[in-house]
Amino acid sequence: MTAPQSAPFTIVDLVQGTESWRQWRAGGIGASDAPAIMGENPWKSAKDLLFERRNPELARRRQTVTSAMTRGVMLEPRARAAYCTIRGVNVRPLCAQSRAHEWMRCSLDGICVDTMQAVEIKCGPAIHARTGRSRTVPRALYGQLQHTMAVTGLLKMDFFCYLPDRPPILFSVPRDASYIERLIEKEAAFWNELCA
């Protein structure tokens, strides 16, 4: 699969979770890095992220894989299938890299390149409960979606919370141009500091 020539991104043919995917991610800034860089991640600061990126082996040894993380990875294919049924589209995971800022990368949970419809999937009970109450993207995840829209050029994308024993939560999140402008500025500064 290739992106249309007019698309602001290129498709990178990698399987998410593999060593080659991890190496590609290390060569840029991914969507999951955005909340820390923007100061919106309550568990990790931009300074912490910079330390991790400069010391990847130490960071890897310190990383804890929780049962919630494992469950989320295991549920994602079922969640993607449920999303496809609800929306009536066929999406698949995809790695994308910005043409304008090659250090900007994202690993989409699902996208249909023909219709440019994308989804961010979350399968955790805490996120499901919080999102169900607020009907908004949790602040700690907002930058992740906006980074993805910055890379792909999308004007909106879906946010989908899925748990097998609960009703799914699905809504569209619009592109926030002023936020993306600040995001690119902060990510560029972070990238320059990382590469210095």
Please report the pLDDT score of residue 57 as a whole number: 80
Weakest-pLDDT range from 1-5, 80-84, 137-141: 1-5
Work out the number of other CB atoms within 10 angstroms of the CB of residue 61.
Answer: 8
Is residue 41, in this structure, part of any structural domain at all? yes
Is residue 125, in this structure, part of any structural domain at all? yes
Q: How many domains does the chain have?
A: 1
Q: Give every CB contact of residue 104 below 8 A, 6+ residues apart in sequence.
A: 28, 29, 97, 98, 147, 150, 151, 184, 187
Is residue 88, in this structure, part of any structural domain at all? yes
Is residue 67, in this structure, part of any structural domain at all? yes
Are the CB atoms for 154 and 176 separated by under 8 Å? Answer: no
Is residue 104, in this structure, part of any structural domain at all? yes
187 residue type, one letter: E
List the CATH number of the domain containing 165: 3.90.320.10
Is residue 108, in this structure, part of any structural domain at all? yes
Residue 103 pLDDT greater than 80, yes or no? yes
Please report the pLDDT score of residue 66 as a whole number: 78
Residue 61 pLDDT greater than 70, yes or no? no
> What residue numbers bound the domain in which 172 lies?
11-195
Summarize the confidence of residues 172-187 as an average pLDDT: 99
From 111, 115, 106, select the one nearest 146 (Cα to Cα).
106
Please report the pLDDT score of residue 58 as a whole number: 76
Band (73; pLDDT cuts 50, 70, 90): confident
Q: What is the pTM of this model?
A: 0.94
Is residue 37, in this structure, part of any structural domain at all? yes
Please report the pLDDT score of residue 5 as a whole number: 75
Is residue 1, in this structure, part of any structural domain at all? no
Summarize the confidence of residues 53-79 as an average pLDDT: 82
